[in-house]
Chain A
Amino acid sequence: MSDALAARPGTDLTGKVALVTGGTRGIGLATVRALAEAGATVVLTGRDETGAKEAAASVGGTVSGQALDVTDAKAVSTLVRGVAKEHGQLDIVVANAGVMEDALLGMIREELVDRMLTTNVAGTIHTVQAAARAMMRKKTGAIVVLASIVGEHGSAGQVAYAASKAAVGNVARSASKELGRYGIRVNAVAPGVIETSMTAHLSEEILAGRVEDTSLRRLGTAEEVAKVIRFLVSDEASFVTGQILGVDGGLVL
């Protein structure tokens, strides 16, 4: 396990059961590692079973992988219920599965809009809804969804993606208001520009520009986002809900 993800005593998650959607790479996989490092039993999902099982095996410990298409509400409900039943509880859900595609106004195909909204928004809602049902009986739980700094401030060339991530942030805000009385906390993280496969397509010029716009003068890492997610699902954040926490190095768009 990497030192970058070493857990602080206050974020001990021993005995907790966690589900991370889109956990096969990038921020999702780093989150799986961070939660497992803190002692949680983690189920990660990916679009195909082989990839999910390989990702789980790469972390080791009490991590397992399952296939899941988050746009399929029934499949999400079945998987979440299955995890809760198999492990006797479900304490943590990180709704991370998402897609990012760029297109300037005038060049946004209908299908691109559908993909952004179906996966990022509907997929997140399905996941949060299923998680809430699984957590309500025990009147405790922590959910984190993946928003984005572009959802908060907008970004040229990302109208559809930014709109979808703005919606995701408001899933957290609204769900937190419904679920607070059940002891379930719902928060979002809003990463800035993070070095993952989702930003690998950006040109060096664009990335250099983003670094210039970032107070810390560098890109973030998936591990840095994962540690904030781990904080939010831990007891260290026991009085934090309905927040969209920027993990952006001070990026100004």
Chain B
Amino acid sequence: MAEIAGKLREVFVEALDLDADVEVENLKYREIEAWDSVGHMALVAAIEDEFDVQFDTDQVIDMSSFKVAADMIKELQSNGV
């Protein structure tokens, strides 16, 4: 899980164009301007690329925080999706 969190942190910073020292681990959807609905799509695309997973639409909509995203990635990887 620590490996996922580390990589995911980098993806958040790059996809949402955040300062490198932003504490993304506690970030929630719409909490900051960059993570709005359109930024969310870019973030999802970046996560899919980085982790080689594919979210369905319900998962995209439910991805409400960094922690939820990390849990989803872990689940998809364990299911081989």
Contacts and interface: CB of A to CB of B under 8 A. Distances in A.
- A and B: interacting chains: yes
Interface of A: 73-74, 77-78, 81, 132-134, 136-137, 178-179, 181-182
Interface hub of B42, B56, B57 (most chain A Cβ within 10 A): B42
Nearest to A82: B54
Contacts of A78: 54
12 contacts: A78-B54, A81-B54, A132-B41, A133-B41, A133-B45, A137-B15, A137-B46, A178-B38, A179-B38, A181-B38, A182-B38, A182-B42
How would you classify the secondary structure of chain B's contact residues: helix, strand, loop or mixed? Answer: helix
A134 B54 CA distance: 12
Given A178-B38, A181-B38, A134 B45 contact: yes
B38 A81 contact: no
Contact of A136 (B45, B54, B56, B57): B45
B56 A137 contact: no
A77 B45 contact: no
Contacts of A73: 57
A14 B60 CA distance: 34
Nearest to B52: A85
Contact of A74 (B41, B42, B44, B56): B56
Contacts of B41: 132-133, 136
Given A77-B54, A81-B54, A137 B45 contact: yes
Contacts of A179: 38
A134 B48 CA distance: 10
Interface residues of B, number: 12
Contacts of A181: 38
Contacts of B57: 73
Given A137-B15, A179-B38, 18 more contacts: A73-B57, A74-B56, A81-B48, A81-B54, A132-B41, A133-B44, A133-B45, A133-B48, A136-B41, A136-B42, A136-B45, A137-B42, A137-B46, A137-B49, A178-B38, A181-B38, A182-B38, A182-B42
Contacts of A77: 54, 56
Nearest to B57: A73
B13 to A, nearest CB: 14
Interface string B21-65: 000000000000000001001101110110000101100000000
A73 B61 CA distance: 15
Q: Which 5 A-B pairs have CB atoms at the shortest separation, nearest pair first?
A: A136-B42, A133-B45, A136-B45, A137-B45, A178-B38
Contacts of A182: 38, 42
Contacts of A178: 38
A178 B46 CA distance: 18
A225 to B, nearest CB: 30
A133 B46 CA distance: 9
B43 to A, nearest CB: 9
B72 to A, nearest CB: 15
